[in-house]
Amino acid sequence: MEAAGGGGGGGGSTLSEIYQNAKKLMLRTRDAMERLERLEYSSGSVGMDSPELSSSITRDITHIQSLCVEMDRLCRSLPSKSHRDLWKRKVEQVGEESESLKQSLDKYSLRNQKRMMEAKERAELLGRANGESHVLRIFDDEAQARQSYRNSARMLEEASSTGEAILSAMSGSRERLKKAHRKALDVLNTVGLSNSVLKLIERRHRVDNWIKYAGMILTLVIVFIIWRWT
């Protein structure tokens, strides 16, 4: 069924021709929208990139809507009411489909903007995290340096205390050695004195023996003399 547009609407095109053009644009736009949604969740895609494809879809939807306006104008000029009602439903269907495609494109744009904002926020957070990590590393290095200094100071103090203890022990050992030396000298002196006493006793014992033997001999001589003279 073809209906002529009153007043040569749509550049002399008939209502049927405009409708066919709108349907072709609708199919092309729907296919482009499907490719755009596939691009959204795929990587390494070739061909038209998302910004160009979304711009092309926007132009096609705008063109379809302008065709709907033109068809609605031509539809009103039809003489038959039944024809007007039929074409009105067709035009409304095309308009609804174009509006559905526009809503899908708007949702895609919102999702794309959200992803871009999230990526930007992640980049900013990563940048701040890297900066904070650098600062934390500096603080950690300083803390480690201070801890190393404290450990070194403590080790020096322990070494000094150990050295002092060793010197004190050596000093005590020296005093003990001096005392032992003095005791040894005392013992030696005592031993020397005891030897002198023993020698004196032995000498006295020999003298006593000599006196005893001399007395015995003298007694025998006296007894012999007395016996001889009696």
- Separation between Cα atoms, residue 40 and residue 104, nearest integer Å: 13
In tens, the pLDDT along 45-56 reads: 443 447 888 889
As a whole-number percent, the residues of the chain with pLDDT over 90 amount to 23
Residue 203: its H or E element: helix 81-229
**What is residue 2's predicted lDDT score, i.e. its pLDDT?**
44
Give the closest residue to 72 by CA, choosing from 93, 103, 102. 93
In tens, the pLDDT along 156-169 reads: 666 666 666 666 66
Is residue 202 scored above 60 in pLDDT? Answer: yes
Look up residue 170 and give its two tokens: 């050596």
**What is residue 188's predicted lDDT score, i.e. its pLDDT?**
56
At residue 43, the 3 state secondary structure works out as: coil
In tens, the pLDDT along 59-96 reads: 999 999 999 999 999 988 888 888 889 999 999 999 99
Is residue 127 scored above 60 in pLDDT? Answer: yes
**What is residue 216's predicted lDDT score, i.e. its pLDDT?**
83
pLDDT band at 99 (very low <50, low <70, confident <90, very high): very high
- Separation between Cα atoms, residue 152 and residue 27, nearest integer Å: 80
pLDDT band at 8 (very low <50, low <70, confident <90, very high): very low
158 or 5, greater pLDDT: 158
Look up residue 137 and give its two tokens: 């590393």
For the segment 195-222, the average pLDDT, to the nearest whole number, is 78
At residue 26, the 3 state secondary structure works out as: helix
CATH class entry, domain 6-128: mainly alpha
- Separation between Cα atoms, residue 152 and residue 62, nearest integer Å: 78
- Separation between Cα atoms, residue 228 and residue 115, nearest integer Å: 161
